[in-house]
Amino acid sequence: MGAWEKNVRKVVPYTPGEQPDCTNIIKLNTNENPYPPAPGVADVLRKFDAQVLRRYPDPAAEALVCALADHYGVKKGQVFVGVGSDDVLAMSFLTFFNGKKPILFPDITYSFYDVWADLFRIPYQCLPLDEEFEIRTEDYFRECGGIVIPNPNAPTGAEKDLSELEQIMAHNSDVIVIIDEAYIDFGGESAVSLLSKYDNLLVVQTFSKSRSLAGMRIGYAFGNEKLIKYLNDVKYSFNSYTMDTVTIAVGVEAVKDDIYFQKMLKKVVDTREWTKKELRRLGFLFQDSKSNFIFATHPKCPAKALFEALKKEGIFVRYFDKPRIDNYLRISIGTDQEMKTLLAFLEQYLGENV
Protein backbone atom coordinates (compact mmCIF):
# COMPACT_ATOMS: atom_id res chain seq x y z
CA MET A 1 0.00 0.00 0.00
CA GLY A 2 0.99 3.67 -0.23
CA ALA A 3 3.49 5.44 2.00
CA TRP A 4 0.57 7.36 3.54
CA GLU A 5 -0.31 4.26 5.53
CA LYS A 6 2.42 4.93 8.08
CA ASN A 7 0.45 8.00 9.23
CA VAL A 8 -2.81 6.17 9.74
CA ARG A 9 -4.16 5.84 13.28
CA LYS A 10 -4.54 2.09 13.36
CA VAL A 11 -6.92 0.55 15.86
CA VAL A 12 -8.47 -2.83 16.49
CA PRO A 13 -12.12 -1.84 16.79
CA TYR A 14 -14.66 -3.00 19.34
CA THR A 15 -16.95 -5.75 18.04
CA PRO A 16 -20.56 -5.14 19.02
CA GLY A 17 -22.96 -8.07 19.44
CA GLU A 18 -24.66 -9.35 16.33
CA GLN A 19 -27.88 -7.61 15.20
CA PRO A 20 -29.30 -10.36 12.97
CA ASP A 21 -31.69 -9.19 10.30
CA CYS A 22 -34.60 -11.51 10.93
CA THR A 23 -37.70 -11.32 13.07
CA ASN A 24 -38.24 -14.94 14.00
CA ILE A 25 -35.45 -15.21 16.52
CA ILE A 26 -35.02 -14.91 20.26
CA LYS A 27 -32.43 -12.21 20.73
CA LEU A 28 -30.61 -12.48 24.05
CA ASN A 29 -27.17 -11.32 22.91
CA THR A 30 -26.88 -7.55 23.51
CA ASN A 31 -28.67 -6.95 26.82
CA GLU A 32 -31.53 -5.06 25.26
CA ASN A 33 -34.76 -4.66 27.17
CA PRO A 34 -37.56 -6.95 25.91
CA TYR A 35 -40.25 -4.38 26.76
CA PRO A 36 -41.10 -1.16 24.90
CA PRO A 37 -39.99 2.26 26.16
CA ALA A 38 -42.42 4.42 28.18
CA PRO A 39 -45.69 5.07 26.27
CA GLY A 40 -44.90 8.81 26.19
CA VAL A 41 -41.98 8.02 23.88
CA ALA A 42 -44.25 6.69 21.13
CA ASP A 43 -46.50 9.77 21.61
CA VAL A 44 -43.60 12.16 21.13
CA LEU A 45 -42.51 10.36 17.98
CA ARG A 46 -46.02 10.30 16.54
CA LYS A 47 -46.58 13.99 17.16
CA PHE A 48 -43.14 15.17 16.18
CA ASP A 49 -43.20 18.14 13.79
CA ALA A 50 -40.56 17.55 11.12
CA GLN A 51 -40.38 21.34 10.53
CA VAL A 52 -38.40 21.59 13.75
CA LEU A 53 -35.58 19.65 12.12
CA ARG A 54 -34.70 22.63 9.92
CA ARG A 55 -32.92 24.03 12.93
CA TYR A 56 -29.88 22.72 14.74
CA PRO A 57 -30.63 21.01 18.04
CA ASP A 58 -29.91 22.66 21.38
CA PRO A 59 -26.16 21.97 21.77
CA ALA A 60 -26.57 21.84 25.56
CA ALA A 61 -29.57 19.47 25.37
CA GLU A 62 -30.94 21.59 28.21
CA ALA A 63 -34.37 19.90 28.40
CA LEU A 64 -32.81 16.46 28.83
CA VAL A 65 -30.14 17.69 31.23
CA CYS A 66 -32.83 19.36 33.41
CA ALA A 67 -35.07 16.27 33.33
CA LEU A 68 -32.16 14.12 34.52
CA ALA A 69 -31.06 16.64 37.16
CA ASP A 70 -34.64 16.79 38.54
CA HIS A 71 -35.06 13.04 38.54
CA TYR A 72 -31.77 12.25 40.26
CA GLY A 73 -31.71 15.25 42.61
CA VAL A 74 -28.48 16.81 41.32
CA LYS A 75 -27.70 20.26 39.89
CA LYS A 76 -27.99 20.64 36.14
CA GLY A 77 -24.30 21.62 36.06
CA GLN A 78 -23.56 18.12 37.32
CA VAL A 79 -25.07 16.39 34.27
CA PHE A 80 -23.39 15.54 30.96
CA VAL A 81 -25.27 13.84 28.11
CA GLY A 82 -24.07 12.00 25.04
CA VAL A 83 -24.89 9.59 22.23
CA GLY A 84 -25.20 6.47 24.35
CA SER A 85 -22.92 5.84 27.29
CA ASP A 86 -20.28 4.68 24.80
CA ASP A 87 -19.99 8.30 23.66
CA VAL A 88 -20.00 9.55 27.26
CA LEU A 89 -17.30 7.06 28.24
CA ALA A 90 -15.17 7.85 25.19
CA MET A 91 -15.37 11.59 25.95
CA SER A 92 -14.50 10.86 29.57
CA PHE A 93 -11.42 8.84 28.62
CA LEU A 94 -10.31 11.66 26.33
CA THR A 95 -10.92 14.32 28.98
CA PHE A 96 -9.66 12.73 32.16
CA PHE A 97 -7.06 10.11 31.26
CA ASN A 98 -4.15 12.23 30.09
CA GLY A 99 -1.43 11.21 32.52
CA LYS A 100 1.61 9.03 31.89
CA LYS A 101 0.63 6.42 34.47
CA PRO A 102 -1.59 3.55 33.33
CA ILE A 103 -5.30 3.65 33.96
CA LEU A 104 -6.73 0.59 35.67
CA PHE A 105 -9.70 -1.64 34.91
CA PRO A 106 -10.53 -5.33 35.45
CA ASP A 107 -9.22 -7.97 33.01
CA ILE A 108 -12.72 -9.31 32.55
CA THR A 109 -14.89 -6.29 31.86
CA TYR A 110 -16.57 -4.20 29.19
CA SER A 111 -14.42 -4.84 26.14
CA PHE A 112 -14.62 -1.26 24.88
CA TYR A 113 -12.29 0.13 27.60
CA ASP A 114 -9.06 -1.17 26.10
CA VAL A 115 -10.23 -0.08 22.63
CA TRP A 116 -10.66 3.56 23.77
CA ALA A 117 -7.38 3.39 25.65
CA ASP A 118 -5.61 2.18 22.49
CA LEU A 119 -7.40 4.73 20.31
CA PHE A 120 -6.43 7.65 22.56
CA ARG A 121 -2.95 6.25 23.34
CA ILE A 122 -3.73 5.96 27.03
CA PRO A 123 -1.50 3.49 28.89
CA TYR A 124 -3.54 0.91 30.80
CA GLN A 125 -3.26 -2.09 33.04
CA CYS A 126 -5.89 -4.79 33.42
CA LEU A 127 -6.20 -6.10 36.97
CA PRO A 128 -7.28 -9.75 37.11
CA LEU A 129 -10.53 -10.65 38.82
CA ASP A 130 -10.11 -13.35 41.45
CA GLU A 131 -10.99 -17.01 40.90
CA GLU A 132 -14.66 -16.27 41.59
CA PHE A 133 -14.58 -13.42 39.06
CA GLU A 134 -14.77 -10.80 41.82
CA ILE A 135 -12.94 -7.47 41.71
CA ARG A 136 -10.16 -7.37 44.34
CA THR A 137 -10.59 -3.95 45.94
CA GLU A 138 -7.03 -3.68 47.32
CA ASP A 139 -5.56 -4.12 43.82
CA TYR A 140 -6.81 -0.63 43.06
CA PHE A 141 -4.99 0.99 45.98
CA ARG A 142 -2.04 2.05 43.84
CA GLU A 143 -0.69 4.93 41.81
CA CYS A 144 -2.39 5.16 38.44
CA GLY A 145 -3.71 7.52 35.78
CA GLY A 146 -7.37 6.83 36.51
CA ILE A 147 -9.81 4.00 37.09
CA VAL A 148 -12.88 2.68 35.31
CA ILE A 149 -15.06 -0.02 36.83
CA PRO A 150 -18.51 -1.14 35.73
CA ASN A 151 -20.96 -1.82 38.52
CA PRO A 152 -22.48 -4.32 38.10
CA ASN A 153 -19.54 -5.63 36.13
CA ALA A 154 -20.03 -6.79 32.56
CA PRO A 155 -20.10 -9.50 31.38
CA THR A 156 -20.23 -11.13 34.83
CA GLY A 157 -23.27 -9.24 36.13
CA ALA A 158 -21.78 -9.21 39.64
CA GLU A 159 -22.36 -6.19 41.84
CA LYS A 160 -19.52 -4.68 43.83
CA ASP A 161 -20.43 -3.36 47.26
CA LEU A 162 -20.63 0.43 47.20
CA SER A 163 -18.52 0.71 50.36
CA GLU A 164 -15.68 -1.09 48.54
CA LEU A 165 -15.93 1.19 45.52
CA GLU A 166 -15.85 4.10 47.93
CA GLN A 167 -12.52 2.86 49.29
CA ILE A 168 -11.17 2.88 45.74
CA MET A 169 -12.32 6.51 45.28
CA ALA A 170 -10.79 7.50 48.62
CA HIS A 171 -7.45 5.80 47.87
CA ASN A 172 -7.22 7.47 44.46
CA SER A 173 -8.31 11.04 45.12
CA ASP A 174 -5.63 12.32 42.70
CA VAL A 175 -7.26 10.70 39.65
CA ILE A 176 -10.76 10.35 38.19
CA VAL A 177 -12.66 7.19 39.09
CA ILE A 178 -15.39 6.32 36.58
CA ILE A 179 -18.16 4.00 37.72
CA ASP A 180 -19.96 2.66 34.66
CA GLU A 181 -23.51 1.98 35.84
CA ALA A 182 -25.01 0.74 32.56
CA TYR A 183 -26.89 -1.98 34.48
CA ILE A 184 -27.39 -0.37 37.89
CA ASP A 185 -31.19 -0.06 37.68
CA PHE A 186 -31.67 -3.84 37.73
CA GLY A 187 -30.88 -4.09 41.44
CA GLY A 188 -27.53 -2.46 42.21
CA GLU A 189 -26.80 0.44 44.55
CA SER A 190 -25.78 3.56 42.63
CA ALA A 191 -22.69 5.62 43.43
CA VAL A 192 -24.70 8.80 42.75
CA SER A 193 -25.10 9.10 46.54
CA LEU A 194 -21.30 9.55 46.82
CA LEU A 195 -21.04 12.49 44.42
CA SER A 196 -21.09 15.10 47.18
CA LYS A 197 -18.28 13.28 48.98
CA TYR A 198 -15.84 12.60 46.12
CA ASP A 199 -14.90 15.26 43.60
CA ASN A 200 -12.97 12.66 41.57
CA LEU A 201 -16.06 10.52 40.91
CA LEU A 202 -17.86 10.27 37.58
CA VAL A 203 -20.98 8.08 37.40
CA VAL A 204 -22.04 7.01 33.90
CA GLN A 205 -25.47 5.60 33.06
CA THR A 206 -27.53 4.84 29.95
CA PHE A 207 -31.06 4.74 28.53
CA SER A 208 -30.16 1.67 26.48
CA LYS A 209 -30.95 -1.06 28.99
CA SER A 210 -33.37 -0.15 31.79
CA ARG A 211 -35.21 2.50 29.72
CA SER A 212 -35.53 0.31 26.60
CA LEU A 213 -33.97 2.91 24.30
CA ALA A 214 -30.83 1.29 22.87
CA GLY A 215 -31.91 2.38 19.39
CA MET A 216 -32.13 6.04 20.39
CA ARG A 217 -28.58 6.36 21.80
CA ILE A 218 -28.75 8.30 25.08
CA GLY A 219 -26.11 8.15 27.78
CA TYR A 220 -25.31 10.49 30.63
CA ALA A 221 -22.87 11.14 33.42
CA PHE A 222 -22.99 12.78 36.84
CA GLY A 223 -20.02 14.44 38.50
CA ASN A 224 -19.13 17.64 40.29
CA GLU A 225 -19.66 20.82 38.26
CA LYS A 226 -15.99 21.38 37.50
CA LEU A 227 -15.61 17.90 36.14
CA ILE A 228 -18.71 18.24 33.94
CA LYS A 229 -17.42 21.58 32.65
CA TYR A 230 -14.17 19.89 31.55
CA LEU A 231 -16.17 17.16 29.83
CA ASN A 232 -18.29 19.72 27.99
CA ASP A 233 -15.19 21.64 26.88
CA VAL A 234 -13.90 18.50 25.18
CA LYS A 235 -17.31 17.66 23.72
CA TYR A 236 -17.68 21.16 22.23
CA SER A 237 -14.20 20.82 20.76
CA PHE A 238 -15.23 17.63 19.03
CA ASN A 239 -18.89 17.94 17.98
CA SER A 240 -21.28 20.60 19.36
CA TYR A 241 -24.47 18.80 18.35
CA THR A 242 -24.18 15.30 19.70
CA MET A 243 -27.81 15.01 20.80
CA ASP A 244 -30.38 15.45 18.03
CA THR A 245 -33.75 17.17 18.54
CA VAL A 246 -35.83 13.98 18.39
CA THR A 247 -33.59 12.17 20.84
CA ILE A 248 -33.71 15.01 23.36
CA ALA A 249 -37.53 15.02 23.28
CA VAL A 250 -37.73 11.24 23.61
CA GLY A 251 -35.24 11.20 26.48
CA VAL A 252 -37.28 13.72 28.46
CA GLU A 253 -40.42 11.58 28.11
CA ALA A 254 -38.61 8.41 29.15
CA VAL A 255 -37.28 10.00 32.36
CA LYS A 256 -40.67 11.45 33.32
CA ASP A 257 -42.56 8.17 33.55
CA ASP A 258 -41.19 6.61 36.71
CA ILE A 259 -44.21 4.40 37.36
CA TYR A 260 -43.85 2.63 34.02
CA PHE A 261 -40.08 2.45 34.53
CA GLN A 262 -40.38 0.71 37.90
CA LYS A 263 -43.01 -1.70 36.56
CA MET A 264 -40.83 -2.80 33.63
CA LEU A 265 -37.76 -3.13 35.84
CA LYS A 266 -39.67 -5.43 38.17
CA LYS A 267 -40.73 -7.62 35.26
CA VAL A 268 -37.13 -8.03 34.08
CA VAL A 269 -35.85 -8.70 37.61
CA ASP A 270 -38.58 -11.29 38.32
CA THR A 271 -37.79 -13.08 35.05
CA ARG A 272 -34.07 -12.97 35.87
CA GLU A 273 -34.64 -14.59 39.26
CA TRP A 274 -36.80 -17.31 37.68
CA THR A 275 -34.13 -17.90 35.02
CA LYS A 276 -31.42 -18.22 37.69
CA LYS A 277 -33.41 -20.93 39.46
CA GLU A 278 -33.98 -22.85 36.25
CA LEU A 279 -30.35 -22.57 35.06
CA ARG A 280 -29.17 -23.81 38.46
CA ARG A 281 -31.53 -26.75 38.21
CA LEU A 282 -29.85 -27.70 34.91
CA GLY A 283 -26.39 -27.52 36.49
CA PHE A 284 -25.22 -24.14 35.21
CA LEU A 285 -22.87 -22.10 37.40
CA PHE A 286 -22.84 -18.29 37.56
CA GLN A 287 -22.37 -15.32 39.83
CA ASP A 288 -25.41 -13.72 41.39
CA SER A 289 -26.25 -11.24 38.63
CA LYS A 290 -27.73 -7.86 39.52
CA SER A 291 -28.00 -6.91 35.85
CA ASN A 292 -30.29 -7.86 32.97
CA PHE A 293 -28.10 -10.79 31.94
CA ILE A 294 -26.58 -13.94 33.40
CA PHE A 295 -23.03 -15.08 32.66
CA ALA A 296 -23.17 -18.84 32.92
CA THR A 297 -20.99 -21.88 32.40
CA HIS A 298 -21.85 -25.57 32.47
CA PRO A 299 -19.26 -27.99 33.89
CA LYS A 300 -20.24 -30.73 31.43
CA CYS A 301 -21.09 -28.80 28.28
CA PRO A 302 -18.66 -26.61 26.29
CA ALA A 303 -20.07 -23.09 25.90
CA LYS A 304 -19.03 -22.72 22.29
CA ALA A 305 -20.92 -25.84 21.17
CA LEU A 306 -23.96 -24.70 23.10
CA PHE A 307 -23.71 -21.22 21.59
CA GLU A 308 -23.72 -22.71 18.09
CA ALA A 309 -26.58 -25.07 18.87
CA LEU A 310 -28.65 -22.19 20.27
CA LYS A 311 -27.95 -20.10 17.21
CA LYS A 312 -29.14 -22.90 14.92
CA GLU A 313 -32.33 -22.91 16.94
CA GLY A 314 -32.73 -19.14 16.40
CA ILE A 315 -31.73 -18.25 19.95
CA PHE A 316 -28.91 -15.68 20.02
CA VAL A 317 -26.76 -15.33 23.15
CA ARG A 318 -23.27 -13.83 23.45
CA TYR A 319 -20.07 -15.86 23.40
CA PHE A 320 -16.64 -14.28 23.95
CA ASP A 321 -13.71 -16.22 22.52
CA LYS A 322 -11.32 -14.79 25.10
CA PRO A 323 -9.00 -16.20 27.77
CA ARG A 324 -10.71 -17.15 31.06
CA ILE A 325 -14.24 -16.61 29.74
CA ASP A 326 -14.31 -18.83 26.65
CA ASN A 327 -16.45 -21.41 28.42
CA TYR A 328 -19.20 -18.98 29.37
CA LEU A 329 -22.33 -17.65 27.72
CA ARG A 330 -23.82 -14.26 28.45
CA ILE A 331 -27.57 -14.57 28.32
CA SER A 332 -29.70 -11.41 28.32
CA ILE A 333 -33.03 -11.52 30.11
CA GLY A 334 -35.91 -11.55 27.64
CA THR A 335 -39.64 -11.98 28.19
CA ASP A 336 -40.95 -14.89 30.29
CA GLN A 337 -41.93 -16.70 27.12
CA GLU A 338 -38.49 -16.23 25.54
CA MET A 339 -36.75 -17.51 28.65
CA LYS A 340 -39.08 -20.51 28.84
CA THR A 341 -38.24 -21.38 25.22
CA LEU A 342 -34.53 -21.01 25.99
CA LEU A 343 -34.75 -23.19 29.08
CA ALA A 344 -36.76 -25.87 27.28
CA PHE A 345 -34.10 -26.03 24.58
CA LEU A 346 -31.26 -26.15 27.12
CA GLU A 347 -32.95 -28.97 29.02
CA GLN A 348 -33.42 -31.00 25.84
CA TYR A 349 -29.88 -30.27 24.58
CA LEU A 350 -28.21 -31.21 27.85
CA GLY A 351 -30.36 -34.36 28.04
CA GLU A 352 -29.11 -35.45 24.61
CA ASN A 353 -25.49 -34.28 24.78
CA VAL A 354 -24.26 -34.61 28.37
Chain positions contacting ligand PMP, by CB under 6 A:
84-86, 110, 150, 154, 180, 182, 206, 208, 214, 219
Quick one: how many helices (H) and strands (E) in the chain? 10, 12
What DSSP state is assigned to residue 142?
A: S
For ligand PMP, which is the closer residue by CB, 269 or 350?
269
CB of residue 301 to ligand PMP, shortest distance in Å? 25
For ligand PMP, which is the closer residue by CB, 165 or 182?
182
CB of residue 207 to ligand PMP, shortest distance in Å? 7
Q: To 5 degrees, how large is the angle CA 36–CA 39–CA 42? A: 85
CB of residue 183 to ligand PMP, shortest distance in Å? 7
Torsion sign, CA atoms 41, 47, 52, 53: positive
What span, in angstroms and rounded, lies between the C-alpha atoms of 141 and 91?
Answer: 25
Task: Characterize the bridge pairing of strands 315-316 and 26-27.
Answer: parallel
Q: To 5 degrees, how large is the angle CA 64–CA 69–CA 74? A: 160
Let me know: does 284 contact 296? Beta carbons within 8 Å: yes
Closest CA to 79 of 231, 238, 297: 231
CB of residue 119 to ligand PMP, shortest distance in Å? 15
Task: Compute, in degrees rounded to 10, the torsion defined by CA atoms 228, 233, 238, 240.
Answer: 80
What span, in angstroms and rounded, lies between the C-alpha atoms of 75 and 65?
Answer: 9
For ligand PMP, which is the closer residue by CB, 89 or 301?
89
For ligand PMP, which is the closer residue by CB, 34 or 84?
84
Helix, strand and coil content of the chain, in percent to the nearest 5, comes to 40, 15, 45
CB of residue 184 to ligand PMP, shortest distance in Å? 10
For ligand PMP, which is the closer residue by CB, 57 or 150?
150
What span, in angstroms and rounded, lies between the C-alpha atoms of 53 and 68?
Answer: 23
CB-based contacts of 157, cutoff 8 Å, min separation 6: 183, 286, 287, 288, 289, 290, 291, 293, 294, 295
For ligand PMP, which is the closer residue by CB, 32 or 338?
32
For ligand PMP, which is the closer residue by CB, 43 or 288?
288
For ligand PMP, which is the closer residue by CB, 84 or 301?
84
CB of residue 113 to ligand PMP, shortest distance in Å? 9
CB of residue 5 to ligand PMP, shortest distance in Å? 31
Q: Is 24 exposed, middle or buried (0-12, 13-18, 19+ CB in 10 A)?
A: exposed
For ligand PMP, which is the closer residue by CB, 84 or 102?
84
> Where are any strands of DSSP class E within 146-302?
146-150, 177-180, 201-206, 219-222, 285-286, 293-297
Closest CA to 26 of 293, 310, 265, 226: 310
CB of residue 222 to ligand PMP, shortest distance in Å? 15
CB of residue 295 to ligand PMP, shortest distance in Å? 12
User: Of all residues in this chain, which one has the CB nearest to ligand PMP in the complex?
Assistant: 84
